[in-house]
Amino acid sequence: MNNSIDYQELYNNTPTGYFCSLPDGTITDSNKRFSSLTRFDLEEVIGKKKFTDFLSVGGKIYFETVYLQALKLNGNLEEINFDLIKKDGTSLPVLINSVEVKDNEGRHLFTQSVVFDISQRKKYELELLIAKRKANDLSDELINANKELRRSSELILKQKLQLEEFNKHLENKNRQLSSFAHIASHNLRAPVSNLILLKDVYKESTDLEDKNMLFSKIEIVINLLNETLNELIESLKIQGNKDITHDPIIFDSVFDKTLAMLDSQILDSNAIITSDFSKAPNTEYPKLYMESIMLNLLSNSIRYRSPDRIPSIHFWTEINTNEIKLIAKDNGLGIDLKKHGHRLFGLSNTFHRHPDSKGVGLYMTKTQIEAIGGSITVESEVDKGTTFKIILKKNI
Amino acid sequence: MVRRLPIIGIVEDDLIYQFMLSRVIKRNNLAKRVITFSDGEKAIQYLTDNKATNENIPDVIFLDINMPIMDGWQFIEEYAILKTEIKKKIAIFMLSFSVNPIDIERAREISEISEHIIKPITLEEVKRIINNYETFL
C-alpha cells in the first residue's frame, strides 16, 4: 500500500469541496475540504444538513426554482454561483458543478456536487469593478475637462474676434487721428503764422492806407481760419458719431434733390446728367451723409468739367453679395493720380486752378463714408474723366 | 562798392504768405525784383520761357513744398532737367511747415536744394539768405 495513492487522503484534501446528497437535499457524504470551507465539522454536516441550509433566503429560492429544475432537465450543471453561509455567519462565494446519479430505470438516486472557492476571483472581480468605476469616473472627468476646454477655447476665439474688431476700430481711429494731426499742423499753422506775420507788419506800419490794406488781409485769414476750424469740428463730429441712425434711402429721390440743389450750375454747364439705381434702388444710410456725398460728388464733377466737351455725368448703384456700391463717373478734367493720389482726400488739397475749389468736399465725403464703415476709391485719367467708387458699407 | 541786388522768385500757393514774404523783401530793399508764382507748374513755365534771358532768371527761389497742380518736390524734378539749359545758377530754398524727418532728409539729399527752412521764416533769415545767396551756389 506504500506506493499506492491514498484515495481517502486525496478525497478529503483535494482543493475542491465535494458532497453527495439525496434527492431531498440531505447531505449523505462530504469531504473534509467541504466542511472546512464552511467551517463546520464533518459530523455536523453528514446526515444532518441539506445543501439549502448553507444558503441565504434568496439563494434558497434560486436553488429551488432554477437550479433544481435545470439539473432535472439536463442531468448535470456547471459553474453555478452561490454564496455559502459559513458557521460564523460570513459568506463564501463558490461555484458548484452537480451531476445526478440514476439507477438503471432512470430513478434519481443521489446528486454528486463539487464546490470551488472563488473568493479570490470575486476579490479580483470587485477590484476590477472598482478600477472600472474609477476609470469611468476619470473618463467622465476628462470629458468634463474637455468640455470646459472647448468652452474656454470658444470664449478665447470670441474674445480674439472682439479684439480683432477692436483693433481694426483703433487702427481706423489712429488713421483718422494722424490725418487730423496732419491737417492741424498744416491747415492751422499756416493761417496762424500768417496772422502773426500780418499783425507784426500791421503794428510797424505807419501809413493808414497800408494799415487798411493789411487789415483786409487779416480779415481774409481770419475767415479762412474760421472756415477750416468749422470743417474740422464737423469732421470730428462725424468721426465720433459711431451710432448715427440709419434712414431708409431711396437713391432716386436723394439724387433728384441733389439735382434741384445744383440746378443753376447744371444749367450753366450744359451737363448731361443721367442715373440708374435699378440694381440697388434703396438702402439704409444716414440721410444727411448720403445727401452730402451725392452733392459733393456731383458738384465736383460739374466744377471740374472739361471746357472742350459737353460734360457727361452718370451715377449708378451696383450690388454684390454683401455690399452696395455707389459709382459716379464723369468725362471732366481728370486728376493725375500718380502726382496727387496720396493727397486727393486730404483737407484743403486742390489740384486745379479754380476760383471756388476749396478742397474740403472730398475730405468730408471720405470721413462720412468711413464713419459708416465703407470706403471710397478713385480712378482717373487726365483729360478723360474721373470715376469715384463708394462701397457704402459691408454686411448689409 | 555797390552790391548787385538779386532777382528773387517766390513759389507759394498761400497768397497771404507770398504777399508777406515779397513785402518784407521789397521793404528791406533786398531784391532788384520779386517774381511770384502760385504753384510749381507756373514757375517751371516761366523758367522755360525765359531760359535764354539771364536777366529774367531769378538768383534765389523760395519754394513751398505743399502746393496744388505741381508741388515743391515735383518742381525740383522738373528743374533738374531744365537747369542744363539755363546759364544762370539758382539758389533754391525750400520752405515748409513740415518738421517731418522724412521730408527734411529728402530735402537734404537733393543737390538742387540749398537749404530747407521750417516756416515761418524770420526777417533775419531772409536777410541772411539773400545777402549771402552767392555762397550757396
* pLDDT classification of A358: cutoffs 50, 70, 90: very low
Cβ-defined contact of A194 to B74 (cutoff 8 Å): no
Question: Comparing C-alpha atoms, which of A13, A234, A396 is closest to residue A5?
Answer: A13
* Nearest residue of chain B to residue A186 (CA atoms): B97
Q: pLDDT for A189-203, tens place per residue?
A: 778 888 888 888 888
Q: Given the cut 0.90, state whether the ipTM is greater than it.
A: no
Domain encompassing residue B131: 7-136
Please give the pLDDT value at position A129.
Answer: 93
- Judged against a pLDDT cut of 90, whether residue A311 lies above it is answered with yes
Instruction: Show residues of chain B in contact with A186, CB under 8 Å.
Output: 66, 97
Q: Least CB-CB distance to B16: which of A186, A220, A349?
A: A220
- Judged against a pLDDT cut of 70, whether residue A347 lies above it is answered with no
* Nearest residue of chain A to residue B95 (CA atoms): A190
Amino acid identity, position A180 = F
Cβ-defined contact of B20 to A190 (cutoff 8 Å): no
Cβ-defined contact of B20 to A194 (cutoff 8 Å): yes
Q: Select the residue from A179, A188, A197, A358 to test the B interface by mutation, using most B Cβ atoms within 10 A.
A: A197
- Judged against a pLDDT cut of 50, whether residue A356 lies above it is answered with no
Question: Which segments of chain B have a pLDDT < 70?
Answer: 1-3
3-state secondary structure A140-193: HHHHHHHHHHHHHHHHHHHHHHHHHHHHHHHHHHHHHHHHHHHHHHHHHHHHHH
Higher-confidence position of A373 and A142: A142
Cβ-defined contact of A190 to B119 (cutoff 8 Å): yes
Q: How far is CA A390 from CA A199, A222, A359, A394, B75, in A?
A: 45, 35, 19, 11, 33
Instruction: Please enumerate residues of B whose Cβ is less than 8 A from a Cβ of A.
Output: 14, 16-17, 19-20, 23-24, 38-39, 66, 68-71, 74, 97, 119-120
Instruction: Show residues of chain A in contact with B39, CB under 8 Å.
Output: 353
Phi, psi of A124 (to 5 degrees): -60, -45
Cβ-defined contact of B23 to A201 (cutoff 8 Å): yes
Cell of A46: 453528514
Q: Has residue B21 been placed in a domain?
A: yes
Phi-psi region of A104 (alpha: psi -120 to 50; beta: other; left: phi over 0): alpha
Q: Give the integer Cα–Cα distance in Å for A109 and A104.
A: 10
Is residue A380 a contact partner of residue A334, using CB atoms and an 8 Å limit? yes
Q: Least CB-CB distance to B17: which of A186, A194, A352?
A: A194
CATH number of B108's domain: 3.40.50.2300
- Judged against a pLDDT cut of 60, whether residue A287 lies above it is answered with yes
Count contacts between A and B (CB, < 8 Å): 44
- Judged against a pLDDT cut of 80, whether residue A14 lies above it is answered with yes
- Judged against a pLDDT cut of 70, whether residue A393 lies above it is answered with yes
Question: Comparing C-alpha atoms, which of B93, B38, B43, B46 is closest to residue B67?
Answer: B38
Q: pLDDT for B116-136, tens place per residue?
A: 888 878 888 888 888 888 887
Q: Give the integer Cα–Cα distance in Å for A336 and A317.
A: 25
Q: Has residue B1 been placed in a domain?
A: no
Cell of A90: 460570513
Amino acid identity, position A97 = N
* Sheet bearing B113-118, strands edge to edge: B33-37, B7-11, B60-64, B91-96, B113-118
Q: pLDDT for A264-281, tens place per residue?
A: 889 889 999 999 999 999
Q: Has residue B63 been placed in a domain?
A: yes
* B58 to chain A, closest Cα gap in Å: 24
Q: Domains of chain A (ranges plus CATH)?
A: 7-117 (3.30.450.20), 243-394 (3.30.565.10)
- Judged against a pLDDT cut of 60, whether residue A121 lies above it is answered with yes
- Judged against a pLDDT cut of 60, whether residue A283 lies above it is answered with yes
- Judged against a pLDDT cut of 50, whether residue A108 lies above it is answered with yes
Question: Comparing C-alpha atoms, which of A125, A108, A32 is closest to residue A71?
Answer: A108
Higher-confidence position of A169 and B3: A169
Q: Give the integer Cα–Cα distance in Å for A357 and A345.
A: 13
Cβ-defined contact of A196 to B120 (cutoff 8 Å): yes
Q: Has residue B17 been placed in a domain?
A: yes
Cell of A273: 446728367
Please give the pLDDT value at position B47.
Answer: 93
Mean pLDDT of A145-154: 94
Q: Has residue B2 been placed in a domain?
A: no
Into how many domains does chain B fold?
Answer: 1
* B113 to chain A, closest Cα gap in Å: 20
Please give the pLDDT value at position B131.
Answer: 87
Higher-confidence position of A143 and B119: A143
* pLDDT classification of A294: cutoffs 50, 70, 90: very high
Residue A134: CB atoms within 10 Å = 10
- Percentage of residues in chain A with pLDDT exceeding 90? 47
Instruction: Show residues of chain A in contact with B20, CB under 8 Å.
Output: 194, 197-198, 201
- Judged against a pLDDT cut of 70, whether residue A349 lies above it is answered with no
Instruction: Please enumerate residues of A whose Cβ is less than 8 A from a Cβ of B.
Output: 185-186, 189-191, 193-194, 196-198, 201, 217, 220-221, 339, 349-353
Cβ-defined contact of B23 to A190 (cutoff 8 Å): no
Q: Give the integer Cα–Cα distance in Å for B68 and A351.
A: 5
Cβ-defined contact of B16 to A201 (cutoff 8 Å): no
- Judged against a pLDDT cut of 50, whether residue A312 lies above it is answered with yes
Mean pLDDT of A82-98: 92
Cβ-defined contact of A339 to B97 (cutoff 8 Å): no
Please give the pLDDT value at position A342.
Answer: 63
Instruction: Show residues of chain B in contact with A196, CB under 8 Å.
Output: 120
Cβ-defined contact of B66 to A186 (cutoff 8 Å): yes
Q: Least CB-CB distance to A190: which of B19, B70, B97?
A: B97
Instruction: Show residues of chain B in contact with A193, CB under 8 Å.
Output: 17, 97, 119-120
Q: Has residue B55 been placed in a domain?
A: yes
pTM attached to this predicted model: 0.54
- Judged against a pLDDT cut of 90, whether residue A155 lies above it is answered with yes
